[in-house]
A and B are shown apart, each in its own frame.
Chain A
Amino acid sequence: MGLTTPETDRVVIPRPEPLRLPEPERTPAPVPNEPVPVGG
């Protein structure tokens, strides 16, 4: 089990950044309805 061929070279690889999901699109908060003047 494992690799059977000889090592050919080696590198040092930095710890990967964790995968990040894209931010969900933000929808603007609903504006409360303005009271509509009635009559006059």
Chain B
Amino acid sequence: MTERVLGFRTWKLEAGRLGSWTVDYRWEPGENRARCLTPRRSACATPPGRHCRCGFWAAWSPRRCVGRGSAETDPPCCVMGLISGWGAVARHHADGFRAEFAAPMCLFVDRPWSVFEPVQRGGVGGWWARTTGRGIGPLPVLEPPDDDPELQDGLLEAAARYAIPLVPIEAAANAGLLAELGVSPAQVQEAIRSR
């Protein structure tokens, strides 16, 4: 039997609720069922549709997750977390998956984005190097902002609403929380500082 899939994704944080980026959808605590909301043609009967982008997406690793938001994220309200997916699941090779059903499992306090640099160049490079100890080139290290009380309140409210942990990703990996949630050893290694 194939076990549920777990992956990393980002949301818009709106008044303590997790919102999808490209469609008007607020996640519910626990189970969420995907609907195809494509505006270009008739909707897929059962997400994730083939040749479509519907379904709840997640990336296999935090690094790939952040890369997904490179062009469109609005850093002040962006939050990263872990979801589980089940039902019909389309796998996208090394990238991630799209699932018919999904549930938020964990939120991370980490802010790997930069409002000053494109995500691939500054924010992720520095954050990825600090988190994993593996550099991806001579990129500037930008510290994530941690002095935004409104953002912190929103994260706490979301964690309470969805009844899930709110933790630093490195601590979640090192303390065994990610493994406890079912994240594979390879995925955990992606998030552990190796230095």
Most central of A2, A10, A11 by chain B CB within 10 Å: A2
Q: How far is the CB of A14 from chain B (nearest CB, A)?
A: 7
Q: Are B86's CB and A14's CB within 8 A?
A: yes
Q: How far is the CB of B34 from chain A (nearest CB, A)?
A: 12
Q: How far is the CA of A16 from the CA of B105 in the complex (A)?
A: 12
Q: Does A9 contact B (CB under 8 A)?
A: yes
Q: How far is the CB of A10 from chain B (nearest CB, A)?
A: 5
Contacts of B3 in A (CB 8 A): 13
Q: How far is the CB of A11 from chain B (nearest CB, A)?
A: 5
Q: How far is the CA of A7 from the CA of B50 in the complex (A)?
A: 8
Q: Are A1's CB and B69's CB within 8 A?
A: yes
Contacts of B26 in A (CB 8 A): none
Q: Does A20 contact B (CB under 8 A)?
A: no
Q: Are A3's CB and B87's CB within 8 A?
A: no
Q: Are B95's CB and A13's CB within 8 A?
A: no
Q: How far is the CB of B181 from chain A (nearest CB, A)?
A: 8
Q: Are A12's CB and B92's CB within 8 A?
A: no
Q: Does B98 contact A (CB under 8 A)?
A: yes
Interface string of A1-30 (1 = CB under 8 A from B): 111111111111111100000000000000
Q: Are B4's CB and A8's CB within 8 A?
A: no
Q: Does B123 contact A (CB under 8 A)?
A: no
Interface string of B87-122 (1 = CB under 8 A from A): 111111111111101000000000000000000000
Q: Are A12's CB and B87's CB within 8 A?
A: yes
Q: Does B85 contact A (CB under 8 A)?
A: yes
Interface residues of A (CB under 8 A from B): 1-16
Interface residues of B (CB under 8 A from A): 1-5, 21-22, 31, 48, 50, 53, 57, 59, 68-69, 72-73, 84-99, 101
